[in-house]
Structure 1
Amino acid sequence: MEETQMEEECKEEINGTQIEEKESDEIQMEERDSNSQTEVAPALIAVHPFDQSVAVAVGSELRIFNLAKNCSVSIESTEMLHKDAIRAVRFSDKGKLLVSAGDDKLVKIWSTETWQCLCTVNSEKRVSAVAISKDEQYVCFADKFGVVWIVDLVGLAENQPGSNKKAAELFGHYCSIITSLEFSPNGSFIVSADRDFKIRVSVFPRSPLKGVHEIQSFCLGHSEFVSCLTFVHNSDFPQGFLVSGSGDSTVCLWDVTSGLALCTSEVGKEANLSEEAHPAVIDLCATGDGSLVAVAIQRQVSKVPWLQGILLLSCDLSAGKLSTLKVIPVPGETFIPTRLGMALSKNLLWMVTGASNLPGSKATSFARIRILSGFNESDTETRVLEDQEIPGGEKLLEKLQGSVSVQGADFSAAADTLNAAMSSLLRKKQYSNEKREFRKKTRNDKKYNQ
């Protein structure tokens, strides 16, 4: 009798402990959800391939300037706007579409002629990357659970603007956050990168709504998360080569057909950032002829205050080689680009820095635009344009940067905060053997099934 009573008391104590732990876990989940609503997000930029317009995303705001008409674009209907931070924005290669997506689990497809929202696609999870097929018939997007989805745009022009479409599942990366999506220049492959150091090259089928079932190759070699992808190509190499940037401070050149790494450039060391712990590559942008690749590198402002700007790599496609050309400093305020963009018709590199939901700053959301010129053969030097030299001038800056007054301290705080946010999201945490075993034993599925 005494043993039975003791067993019942032990069970009650265990059940009580499990309930308390479950309530604690639920509270922590609620706190994480609450914190995610104010998660800092980098400013993004996208440039029309034929230099017709520029789009900047800051938080939930989508700011567009029409370069062809030298005027700002107003989105009249507030119902068409995003409700949370935009995490991806890009133009199609033909320039007829703009796609934006983000933390509100919405993918919006815009006409660049009327600037109406042609359709809105609901995502099950927050969106981390988007890509548009070369023929503009499909939009692909990836979520933070590692699933890539596809939307059929055939007949979209006849639909009433603002309509909804459903996405079909394309393939998955098995619960790894997908950081970047790219179509190959000839449209044969769709390439996806994730936080688990993988780059997957998939054959894009004729009927993609049925899913992608053929993997061409895996490009493996990075030792940290892959942050960004771009292709370099020209008339001699129409299929092109893949360029990837990573949290391991390297940029790699790949043959996607075989998955072989042709060249690896240690850009962290080349930019004299070797003393920093893992300065990640933030973004890549290639010129239209594939001869140059611009690299934006993450770094702590307090450690390297003198290094601001980007690193230029020379790309020899015939030799399959990347080589460091030079570091281009940006004079004036602390400027560490959060995204890069370039049109095909003009060799101007657009750079944006900024953030939304920046804690501890009066300027909680802001953006700053700078442009780098000098990529044509006739140019004698590469330089950063003054504000009055920028296409669109003050009207463009007023629209894309907003009216918020930004101090140098805000730029520094944004850079450091974004660095911390990227590391928290994409860098895998390292645990000791003891802590790893403890975490295994205290997993929820272990606790509640005992």
Structure 2
Amino acid sequence: MEETQMEEKCNSVTNGIPIEEKESEETQTMEEKDSYTQPEVAPALIALHPFDQSVAVTVGSDLRIFNLAKNCPVSLADQSKEVLHKDSIRAIRFSDNGKLLVSAGDDKLVKIWSAETWQCLCTVNSEKRVSAVAISKDEQYVCFADKFGVIWIVDLVGLAEDQSVTEKKAVAIFGHYCSIITSLEFSPDGRFIVSADRDFKIRVSVFPKNPLKGVHEIQSFCLGHSEFVSCLTFVCNPNFPQGFLVSGSGDSTVCLWDVTSGSLLCTSEVGREANLSEESHPAVTDLYATGDGSLVAVAIQSLQGILLLSCDLSAKKLSTLKVVYVPGETFIPTKLGMTLSGSLLWMVTGASNLPGSKESSFARIRVVSDFKKSSHESDPEPRVLEDTEIPEGEKLLEKLQGSVSVDSAVFTAAAEALNSAMSSLLRKKQYSDEKRDFRKKTRNDKKFKQ
């Protein structure tokens, strides 16, 4: 009798873990692995030519461009073996001089386009999926970061003149220790390249004269966020040409930094200021500043519109100005864009690979007018334009959004799916000691050794 009870007790425990708990952990691990095979939900992105020449929107692998100057859609020409992008685009931006457009993403391709002829100047192959891109002020270098925390550089000198060059190799210049890079920015004076990651860090690196040999000198670290850093932008004006850094985070805050010293100058709790739930801690998803550095637009999860922050560079202070809501529909921006004039703020929402939806990908664009800091009470307030009021109106929207009409419920589902995807990717998971040991034992490299 005692032997039978001992056998039952031994059979109910394996490696010190009860069978029920072990089966539960194995099932959960299998579910996690299955989730990796599913296409990741990717947000729609938008980029504006600095001189109002064109607007670019990406959703999934689709890159859509409209020429504002000529009032017509743009057809991209790619002479390389790769045909455009094959997977979700995760980063897109114009150079400050407006001559280049760079797109990159999950297909491990970085494509550098001429924003004048719309030819693909070259394609760069990345070892890992790309998460962020930046273009140097002189347009000589393109930097991109991958999900393993490595920052790479591509030399563009002579690229436009030599039409025979269709591929270039990237050189690794520095990295964050196995942490996803979420954002890359050059400082206004070009002295620094700033990189942010999921581990709450912002690294300010000195950009050398010959960066192909590596970026070894760290100017400072900007430390103060308690969750992943999601986005970066600089604010500057003639009195402060070197600028100050503004960062958004998963902790529902926006911070102002002195990059030279790494000092935290001001913190704005934007989630609370926008009257969003403090328990959920909605992440800041994007930031954009006016050319004079007086205003910063903030996109936040669950906020149907944008929060405007007033930026006083002399006082080194951020303060909440107002919330601009999008009327009449569910619209939670996934990306913001603006030209140097700063008169219009462009917003996009949308997603690709949305589970359970008939639409594989979709995008919706809205535009905020009079996006300037008002010094007179009689000046018009920022407002969301109707579709007919948007520059080039229906023709532009048909190209950038597509002609398919999407139900508002789909936008709500997309917002929830994007929030979940961002949280799963960037919020660090917490495990018990037992589960951590179990996950170590079931790693693929451990299985191969066995």
Q: Do the structures match in fold with TM over 0.5?
A: yes
Give the conservation status (yes or no) of the 8 Å contact 2:181–2:197: yes
Match of 1:386 in 2: 386
Match of 2:170 in 1: 167
Match of 2:12 in 1: none
Match of 1:423 in 2: 423
Match of 2:364 in 1: 368
Match of 2:215 in 1: 212
Following superposition, the deviation at residue 308 of structure 1 comes to 1.3
Matched, 1:403 2:406: no
- Deviation digits for residues 174-220 of structure 1 (CA, Å, limit 9, x no counterpart): 11000000000000000000000000000000000000000000000
Residue of 231, 253, 257 corresponding to 1:254: 257
Matched, 1:51 2:47: no
Letter matched to residue 40 of structure 1? V
Match of 1:333 in 2: 329
Letter matched to residue 226 of structure 1? V
Residue of 188, 193, 198 corresponding to 1:190: 193
Give the conservation status (yes or no) of the 8 Å contact 2:78–2:120: no
Following superposition, the deviation at residue 346 of structure 1 comes to 4.0
Distance in 2, Cα, partners of 1:162 & 1:395: 35
Letter matched to residue 96 of structure 1? K
State which drifts further: 402-411 or 70-79: 70-79
Match of 1:105 in 2: 108
Give the conservation status (yes or no) of the 8 Å contact 1:120–1:162: no
Partner SS, residue 237 of structure 2 = coil
- Unaligned 5+ runs, structure 2: 1-14, 16-26
Letter matched to residue 97 of structure 2? K
Partner SS, residue 355 of structure 1 = strand
Distance in 1, Cα, partners of 2:393 & 2:444: 56
Match of 2:241 in 1: 238
Letter matched to residue 165 of structure 1? K
Match of 1:7 in 2: none
Match of 1:414 in 2: 414
Partner SS, residue 154 of structure 1 = coil
Residue of 74, 81, 85 corresponding to 1:82: 85
Following superposition, the deviation at residue 383 of structure 1 comes to 0.3
Match of 2:67 in 1: 66
Following superposition, the deviation at residue 443 of structure 1 comes to 4.7
1:18-33 correspondence runs (5 A)? 31=34
Give the conservation status (yes or no) of the 8 Å contact 2:67–2:73: yes
TM-score normalised by the chain length of structure 1: 0.89
Distance in 2, Cα, partners of 1:313 & 1:287: 11
Partner SS, residue 117 of structure 2 = coil
Letter matched to residue 243 of structure 1? V
| Counterparts in 2 of 1:380 and 1:39: CA distance versus 1, 3 Å | same
Give the conservation status (yes or no) of the 8 Å contact 2:159–2:165: no
Following superposition, the deviation at residue 447 of structure 1 comes to 6.2
Distance in 2, Cα, partners of 1:375 & 1:415: 25
Distance in 2, Cα, partners of 1:50 & 1:188: 24
Give the conservation status (yes or no) of the 8 Å contact 1:118–1:161: no
Partner SS, residue 233 of structure 1 = strand
Distance in 2, Cα, partners of 1:223 & 1:373: 34
Give the conservation status (yes or no) of the 8 Å contact 1:337–1:351: yes
Letter matched to residue 326 of structure 1? K
Matched, 1:344 2:345: no
Distance in 1, Cα, partners of 2:342 & 2:156: 29
| Counterparts in 2 of 1:44 and 1:162: CA distance versus 1, 3 Å | farther
Give the conservation status (yes or no) of the 8 Å contact 1:292–1:313: yes
Following superposition, the deviation at residue 405 of structure 1 comes to 1.6
Matched, 1:224 2:220: no
Letter matched to residue 103 of structure 1? D
Letter matched to residue 360 of structure 2? T
Match of 1:128 in 2: 131
Letter matched to residue 68 of structure 2? L
Distance in 1, Cα, partners of 2:63 & 2:401: 11
Letter matched to residue 69 of structure 2? A
- Deviation digits for residues 404-438 of structure 1 (CA, Å, limit 9, x no counterpart): 22000110010000000000000011122333344
Match of 2:318 in 1: 322
Give the conservation status (yes or no) of the 8 Å contact 1:117–1:162: no
- Deviation digits for residues 271-315 of structure 1 (CA, Å, limit 9, x no counterpart): 11134412000000000100000000012xxxxxxx510100000
Distance in 2, Cα, partners of 1:71 & 1:394: 11
Following superposition, the deviation at residue 373 of structure 1 comes to 1.0
Give the conservation status (yes or no) of the 8 Å contact 1:116–1:161: no
Letter matched to residue 396 of structure 1? L
Give the conservation status (yes or no) of the 8 Å contact 1:80–1:162: no
Letter matched to residue 382 of structure 1? P
Distance in 1, Cα, partners of 2:301 & 2:219: 31
Matched, 1:200 2:203: yes
Give the conservation status (yes or no) of the 8 Å contact 1:283–1:296: yes
Moved over 4 A (4+): 24-33, 76-79, 440-450
Give the conservation status (yes or no) of the 8 Å contact 1:363–1:405: no
| Counterparts in 2 of 1:445 and 1:77: CA distance versus 1, 3 Å | closer
Distance in 2, Cα, partners of 1:243 & 1:104: 30
Give the conservation status (yes or no) of the 8 Å contact 1:51–1:346: no
State which drifts further: 55-64 or 156-165: 156-165
Letter matched to residue 234 of structure 1? N
Coordinate RMSD, CA, aligned: 2.3
Partner SS, residue 160 of structure 2 = helix
Distance in 1, Cα, partners of 2:168 & 2:41: 29
